Amino acid sequence: MTGMKVLASTGRRTGDLTMALPGRIAPGTAWVAMECQGAGTLTVDAGSLGIYTEPCFDHADGSANAYESGAPRTAASLRVTADPGLTWAVSVGWDPSRSHPR
């Protein structure tokens, strides 16, 4: 997709994590994608881009969540909280398009 950018990517990890996001995000669609494996719950707090909870299982599974905005917004940090024993990965991306113009 033209103009798509990765704003943050954690790679595969265990435990909790807090990392910086770029702060100001231009109008368009921001994506928060997550995958986890193991028994438990993964919670991803991407600030103004939303808070998402993913149930995790022994087989790898995940979801992608989109946040569309016609105005700039701020997202200063990404906080991931994982139950013990989970392996997970999270990516945050952005593209200038919106599927439902406002």
Q: What is the CATH number of the domain that holds 76?
A: 2.60.120.260
pTM: 0.88
pLDDT in tens, 9-31: 999 999 999 999 988 888 999 99
In a domain? residue 83: yes
In a domain? residue 53: yes
Q: How many residues does the chain have?
A: 102
pLDDT in tens, 52-97: 999 999 998 999 998 888 888 888 899 999 999 999 999 999 998 8
Q: How many domains are contained in the chain?
A: 1
What are 49-54's contacts with CB under 8 Å, separation 24+? 49/25, 49/73, 49/75, 49/92
pLDDT at 2: 63
In a domain? residue 102: no
Domain around 13: 5-95
In a domain? residue 100: no
Q: Where are the beta strands (DSSP E) in 1-102?
A: 5-9, 17-25, 28-37, 40-45, 51-56, 61-69, 73-82, 87-95
pLDDT at 99: 63
